[in-house]
Each structure stands twice: as C-alpha cells, then as structure tokens.
Structure 1
Amino acid sequence: MAPMGVRLSPIGVAIFCLLGVAIIYHLYWEMLSGRISPSGRSSTVDLKELLALSVEAAVRGGREVKRVREDNALEEKSKGETREGASEKLTEGDLRSHRQMFHLISNTYPFLKVNSEEHDNVEQENTPVWDHRIPADISQMVPNSVEVPAESITVWIDPLDATQEYTENLRQYVTTMVCVAVDGEPVIGVIHKPFTGYTAWALVDQGANIKPREKYSKESPHVIVSRSHAGKVKVFVEAAFGNNTVIVPAGGAGYKVLSLLDSRDETDDKADIYIHVTYIKKWDICAGNAILRALGGHMTTLKGQPIDYRGSERNEGGLLASIGMDHSDLVKRLPEREADKRG
C-alpha cells in the first residue's frame, strides 16, 4: 500500500500562495529601501534619513512626556539609587516616551542596535511607523545623502532627560534625545524640549539647525554643572578657573549642552563651559556630543579623552564640554580628581 501524502484543499493552497507572495514582497521592499542586501544581511543606512527619523522620534517622545506632566499622571516610582545615594526616579512619562521612541526606530530599522535608558515589555497597541518624509529644513541644510554600514551604527535614546526635575515640575530642564554613533563616534544629535517645542539637531560634516554663540568668556567663565551636586563641583571648578568663576546649577545634560549654544530658546541659561565630575550614562551625553562636534566644539572626559559610544553605557571619566575655546588648554587647567589619585 502506497504511503498517504498530505493534500491541501483549494483554500489551503490559496492561503499558502498568498503567504509566499507576502513574504517575497516584504523582502523585495526591504531590499529597495536598503534595509537588507540580496544576501539577507543588513547593508547600509542613509544618515540623512536616520536624522529625520531621529527628530521624529524625539518629538513623538516629547508629546508623551508633555501629556503625562500636564495630566499630572506621573505615577512616580524609584529605580533605585544613584552612586551619590539619590533616588533615581521613573515616571509614566519616561515609559510612554520610551515606547514611542524605541519602537519607532526599531520598527523602521529592525537591524540597528538601539540603547534606551528605559526598558519596558508593554506592547504598543498601535505600532509606531514612520512615513520616511524628510522635513524641509533637513532637506535644505543637509543636501547630501551619506550611506554607512548598518553594523557600524549604535543608536542611543534618552526618553526623558532630567526626570528628577520633571517630577518637581521644573519643565525648562526636560528634554528627549536621540544620538547616532558610527564606529563609536557621535554623528547625529537631536535634543528636543517638549514644553517649548524647540528642537536642536546636527549631522556632523553635513549641517545643523543650531549654531554657537558669538562670544565666550575665558577669564571669568560661567560653568554649568549638575544642580544635584553643585556644591561639590564648586571647589573643583574654582581651582581650575579662579574664584571669579560663576557656577550655574542646572538639571539635564541636554539642557546643559544647549546652554553653550545659540539655542533661540529664552528659557535656557547661558554658559561657557559644561563640567560633570562623576560617572554619567552615555544616553545622557551622546546627542550633545554630536551637536558640539558638528559645530566645532568638544566633549571629552576630564582628561581630554574622546568618549567611545560603543559597548558599555557608562562613562566613568567625567565630562568637559566647550565650544569657541582651546579645549586642550581647559583640560590642562583642571585639577586632578580624588578618584584619579586613587587610581
């Protein structure tokens, strides 16, 4: 007796064929969009397009941040303590912004590595999608497309920078940020202020919608530092730049970078140098680093070393950011930290 084979009904055959066509169409579309090569591996990504997506992600995240704050629906929690012993806050604004930003980028470029400050297993009811539209200002200021290998890219997102200030309703400090690093170097930076609607962006060697201020003070600089430990930094800063130095306490790394620039946002403080003397996460600083690089500025460790945006999320070497100054001279003027003395 011959073995019996599996027979499909006409309906089954039709469904099988439709599935095959759908899979082939999806792969074909992915190839046309540059997401995968004919071999099935990711190929290249257009940085101009990725800049537009990054702006869209930051703005969408910002809408969630603003909505939660205005509805007073923070649902504040603690993620634990910082190294300094302060409570590390988590709010519904952080999580909703993360869902929009992370999933929008991941759904558009599923093969890219995306690092977010937050982690959340809640599935989106409406999957965030992007229409691939390039805003007019980006088209005008970034005329050229720049293709880079997908495997060289790391994306860093901060869904809500300055969460502590957010819970205190100090809205001027709050930002959402996206950064794209290529081979560890920050090349795209986006800093969005949800409560004013202002967005700063830059693509290194291509263009930016923000510029440096005309003047910076080298002799009696305004140095912007974290408001959570401004007292500890004061001695360090005055040892470097003298007793006439003005200490500007502020929240949020994104806000501090904007204070160095001509941001056209009247809520910003104005500073000449940004210093952070303790450990800081890379999603806090990558976007600002990219913007400063694009404008000819610098962001390094306190020893003047470049910050590599691959691998670990941690930057242990402190932070010095400047523009319009001799950055290497600023590094030389900094005193040695106690942590460095201990090795």
Structure 2
Amino acid sequence: MNFGGKIRINKLGICIIVGAMFLFVYYMTSNKSSNLETKSVVSLKKLLIASIEATVKGGKEVVDVYKSSKLNERSKGKTKEGVNDPITDADEKSNCAMFYSLTHTFPDIKVVSEEVSSESDCRTLQTLDLDEQVLSSEVTMWIDPLDATKEFTENLLEYVTTMACVAVNGEPVIGVIHFPFGEEPKTYWGWVGKGVSEELYAKFQKKLDDSHPIVIVSRSHSGQVESIVKEAFGNSFSVIKAGGAGYKSLEVCSKNVTAYVHTSVIKKWDICAGNAIIKALGGKMTTLKNEDINYKDIKNTVNSDGILATIENHDKLIKHFKII
C-alpha cells in the first residue's frame, strides 16, 4: 500500500463547493427575510367598507324575517338578573350574512360573533367587494348580528341595530352601527383618527345640555343601575331607559344624553362598535374603574366592570363612581 502519494487539489472543485455554500447561506437568510415581508396584512380601509357592507347585509336579513312575521323566537337561557335572553331566526340569518361574508373576504382575521351558525346552514354568500395596513394577526373583529333581540321580539324596532367593530391590538379602531328599521335604514360609522360618517358628524354638532344632565341605562339589564346612578350623581341627573347598547352609544354620540352607564356584565360585541365611534368623536368609553376595555382576547368576551360612555367630562363623571 502506498501512503506516500500526493493529493492533488482541484481548484475548480473548490470554487464549486464555496459557491454552493455561499448560495445556501444566501438562500437561508433571504428566505427568513422573505417570510417576514410576506406576513399577512389587511387594509383598515377595506375593513371599514366590509364592516359597512356586512352590517347592511345583516340588517336586510333582520327586516326580511320581521316582515315574514315568523320570528321563531326561542330562549338561550336567562341573564344573571333572571331576564330571558331570546334568539330568533333574524339573529341567525343576520349572523350568516355578516360572519361568513367577513370570514370569506378576510380569511386570516378573527371574527367574534354573539351568535354561532354552521356555514352549511347558511345559504351561499359571496365575498364582499372592497388604506393604512396592519398585520392580520393584530386584528380582531367583533360583530353583533342583532343587537336588542329582546326589543326586536317586542316590536320596539327603533332600538334594533346590526354592528361591526375592528380592533387593532385590542383597541377599538373602526365601528359601524346600522339601523335597519325606520323610514329609511341608516348606517353610522367612525374610524379613530380618520373621521366619521357625515350624518353622525351632523348629529355631533349639537351642544350638550349641561343644565339638565341625563344618564341612559339598559331597560332589560338595569340591575341596580338606577340606584347606583342616583347615589353617584344625585337627584340633579335624570335616568332614562333604552334597549340596545348600539342605540345607547349613538344617543351619547348625538349628545341627547350626558352619559351611558351600565353596571352589570356586558358582552364585548355589544359595546365594541359604540366604543370605536365614541372614541372617533373624541369621547371615551371605559369601565367604571376608568380602565380601557381591551378587545384582543377572543376567549374573553365579557366585560364585568361596567361601563361609562361620554362625549364630554368623562374624567369628572367617573370620579363619582370611585366614591361609591
């Protein structure tokens, strides 16, 4: 055996090996960069348009069921206060129209609805036709296919709305509230830092009447709210009852009331849209502990600390609840 032979280095082979290593390293680094660049993003402008279209579609379903006189009212159970929590075909059909049109149009975002409908039970729905961009992973949408279902079953249609809200990193950014009934259906929207719908802006121009402060509360989830409001604000404040969180939020925006107060548990799909619109107008909606409401966690659908919503004097009014 000859171990004394010479090893001849092939320069071309070395060049090929070095080149291959360089290409491999370049591929790995560029691939990582590419993965970062191709993260799913979504246009907030398109989400606003989609929210408007979805709420209008849902509103049409609500009106159609109402006109058919076949509500098919059932109970989902009772609230903490023992009030019946009804559901109708209108809730479910509006949910089909809103939920699946949104999820088909934006498959990467999370959509949380008050109602649950199997897609197989919904008729075929097309994606919505649709610009600050954000990562899809940062967006959560909260929708209420029929707010004020109890009032809907009682023929109190002025309180009935369909609602959609876009939250980015838990903060309400876009809110849409659609009133499907009345002489003409009306849609109000707000985009924080961008603007609000023309009709909403016109309502907002009204001067708030400080001489006769009014607090609006829920007619079906009042709990001890009336006595709490009286204890907090005294007899100088009037208390009125109304149905639907969307309706009450718009009353705040229109300056027809001084504040919207809710002292018991409330679901986030009930308040997210109103929260965004009030915020877009420069107002505030917080818990009664004066904490912002976070809409990021889709598993945490409940706000347990009450709400105070105002257009003006929020910090002054919230102090009254701290002394109770």
TM-score category (smaller protein): 0.7 to 0.9
Which SS does the other structure have where 1:106 is aligned? helix
Matched with 1:89 is: 86
From 301, 309, 313, give the equivalent of 1:326.
Answer: 313
Contact 1:78 1:90 survives alignment (8 Å): yes
Contact 1:189 1:291 survives alignment (8 Å): yes
Give runs of ≥4 in structure 1 deviating > 4 Å.
Answer: 37-42
User: How far apart, CA to CA, are the structure 1 residues paired with 2:207 and 2:313?
Assistant: 13
Matched with 1:128 is: 126
Which SS does the other structure have where 1:331 is aligned? helix
Distance 1:80 1:42, change over 3 A: farther
Matches for 1:208-247 after TM superposition, within 5 Å:
208-209=196-197, 210-211=200-201, 212-218=204-210, 220-230=212-222, 232-247=224-239
Which SS does the other structure have where 2:95 is aligned? helix
Distance 1:150 1:188, change over 3 A: same
1:125 alignment partner AA = R
Matched with 2:190 is: 202
User: How far apart, CA to CA, are the structure 2 residues paired with 1:74 and 1:195?
Assistant: 16
- CA shift digits 1:86-118 (9 cap, x unpaired): 111010000000000000000001111000000
Contact 1:260 1:273 survives alignment (8 Å): yes
Q: Which deviates more, 114-123 or 58-67?
A: 114-123
Aligned length: 282
User: How far apart, CA to CA, are the structure 1 residues paired with 2:93 and 2:227?
Assistant: 39
Does residue 1:280 correspond to 2:266, yes or no?
A: yes
1:148 CA displacement = 0.7
Matched with 1:168 is: 154
User: How far apart, CA to CA, are the structure 2 residues paired with 1:154 and 1:106?
Assistant: 11
Does residue 1:72 correspond to 2:60, yes or no?
A: no
Matched with 1:8 is: none
Which SS does the other structure have where 1:260 is aligned? helix
User: How far apart, CA to CA, are the structure 1 residues paired with 2:37 and 2:223?
Assistant: 55
Q: Percent identity?
A: 47
User: How far apart, CA to CA, are the structure 2 residues paired with 1:80 and 1:231?
Assistant: 17
- CA shift digits 1:135-192 (9 cap, x unpaired): xxxxxxxxxx211111000000000000000000100000000000000000000000
1:41 CA displacement = 6.2
User: How far apart, CA to CA, are the structure 2 residues paired with 1:313 and 1:228?
Assistant: 20
Does residue 1:63 correspond to 2:57, yes or no?
A: no
Contact 1:101 1:159 survives alignment (8 Å): yes
Matched with 1:31 is: none
Contact 1:219 1:241 survives alignment (8 Å): no
- Gapped regions of structure 1 (runs ≥ 5): 1-36, 133-144, 264-269, 338-343
Matched with 2:253 is: 261
Does residue 1:250 correspond to 2:242, yes or no?
A: yes
1:82 CA displacement = 0.9
User: How far apart, CA to CA, are the structure 1 residues paired with 2:322 and 2:290?
Assistant: 13
Matched with 1:22 is: none
Distance 1:156 1:176, change over 3 A: same
Q: TM-score of the superposition, structure 2-length normalised?
A: 0.83
Contact 2:213 2:258 survives alignment (8 Å): yes
Contact 2:224 2:263 survives alignment (8 Å): no
User: How far apart, CA to CA, are the structure 2 residues paired with 1:229 and 1:244?
Assistant: 23
1:241 CA displacement = 1.7
Does residue 1:189 correspond to 2:175, yes or no?
A: yes
1:93 alignment partner AA = A
Q: Which deviates more, 228-237 or 248-257?
A: 228-237
- Gapped regions of structure 2 (runs ≥ 5): 1-33
1:126 CA displacement = 1.8
- CA shift digits 1:1-36 (9 cap, x unpaired): xxxxxxxxxxxxxxxxxxxxxxxxxxxxxxxxxxxx
Q: TM-score of the superposition, structure 1-length normalised?
A: 0.78
Contact 1:221 1:241 survives alignment (8 Å): no
User: How far apart, CA to CA, are the structure 1 residues paired with 2:38 and 2:88?
Assistant: 38
Distance 1:86 1:308, change over 3 A: same
Contact 2:40 2:108 survives alignment (8 Å): no
Which SS does the other structure have where 2:224 is aligned? helix
- CA shift digits 1:262-320 (9 cap, x unpaired): 39xxxxxx211100000000000000000011110000000110000021001011000
Which SS does the other structure have where 1:228 is aligned? coil
User: How far apart, CA to CA, are the structure 2 residues paired with 1:166 and 1:94?
Assistant: 10
